[in-house]
Amino acid sequence: MNAGPACPLCGGSAPKTFVRTWREWSLWECPDCGAGFCDPFREPGPAYYEGHEGLYAAAVEETTDPMSFEYDEGLARLTRTLPRGARVLDAGCGAGGFLRRLRAAGFEASGADFNPRRVRALRDLGFEVFEGGLPDFAKTGPAPFDGAAMFEIVEHLTDPAAWLAAALSVLKPGAPFVLGTPNRDRTFDPFRGPGMEEVDNPPHHLTRWSAPALRRLLERAGFEVLECRPLANPLPLVQLMLRNSLRLGLSARAAGTAAPSSSAPAAAPSAPSARAKTTAALVRAKEAVLNGAARAAYPALRAAGSVLGWQGTILFAAARRPS
């Protein structure tokens, strides 16, 4: 029997549980630390993220992002714990969606990110942003923070333990830390269909977390874990999943018909045909119906989910540096 590769996170040698393959990767789970990981195990590098700017931006930038509910949860936790004016670090701040929320809530918000263009844009908005990863930022010896956040980062890293150790090191004793990451034990999967499957698979996401595994990772880094649980899927996410699962091919057809011809890149885009307009109108009508249906069914779905133990898409953890 194939015992699988050594665990790249804990080095544990117990036989790994094979999960599935995805393109050239195989996915495994480690019985020692509980983490899910891919083999081969390596970060795709900045070029990958530059090439997937659209996908990556949507995950952090849009205020209408269906995943932004983890920001709400994190902000609620920080505002309960910290006074206005407290210094909070968002490690892996991306386009600054959470930085803006922190500032609006009265915090002094700082960030760290790899993307130089985003760093410049955020500095132009007056945010203090370090260009690079959290371990490098920690080595610069910043003044300790009153709180920190890390959303949708841990699953991208080859060394999440080093990042959590760095997070711990830049916090004052007793300071809160909030973290969000996809839940591999989710009952329903929004990451399906063309373009979406890439989101929660390698090389985009290298590790996969369950609530117990994430708790263990935080504890091993020295955090005191206050809670670690899946968040219930909010209505916009349920609506997105319903639209994706009932896709009739109309959207793809409308996009295909309306796309400018690649043979005439210099020409002004031609007006959409009457047929494309009709198709687009049908798509909008279908989406409105599905959104309405999801809205009507949502309270019953929430109740059923709590009875049946459905797990949400995102894991949320709140922890603190021990006093």
Binding site for Zn ion (CB under 5 A): 7, 9-10, 12, 30, 32-33
Cα separation of 320 and 323, whole Å? Answer: 8
* Min CB(86)–Zn ion separation in Å: 35
Nearer to Zn ion, 7 or 86 (CB): 7
Nearer to Zn ion, 30 or 95 (CB): 30
* Min CB(154)–Zn ion separation in Å: 14
Cα separation of 127 and 110, whole Å? Answer: 6
Cα separation of 106 and 143, whole Å? Answer: 19
Cα separation of 118 and 92, whole Å? Answer: 11
Cα separation of 174 and 159, whole Å? Answer: 24
Q: Where are the alpha helices (DSSP H) in 64-172?
A: 69-81, 97-104, 116-124, 134-139, 160-169
Nearer to Zn ion, 51 or 212 (CB): 212
Nearer to Zn ion, 34 or 74 (CB): 34
Nearer to Zn ion, 101 or 208 (CB): 208
Nearer to Zn ion, 29 or 200 (CB): 29
* Min CB(315)–Zn ion separation in Å: 17
Nearer to Zn ion, 31 or 51 (CB): 31
Cα separation of 2 and 17, whole Å? Answer: 10
* Min CB(12)–Zn ion separation in Å: 4
* Min CB(207)–Zn ion separation in Å: 10
For residue 316 the two structure tokens come to 């949320």
* Min CB(193)–Zn ion separation in Å: 31
For strands 108-113 and 128-131, give the pairing.
Answer: parallel
Return the half-sphere exposure (C-beta side, CA atoms, 13 A cut-off) of residue 243.
20
* Min CB(152)–Zn ion separation in Å: 21
Return the half-sphere exposure (C-beta side, CA atoms, 13 A cut-off) of residue 77.
25
DSSP 191-254: --STTTTTTTSTTT--EEB-HHHHHHHHHHTT-EEEEEEEEPPPHHHHHHHHHHHT--SHHHHH
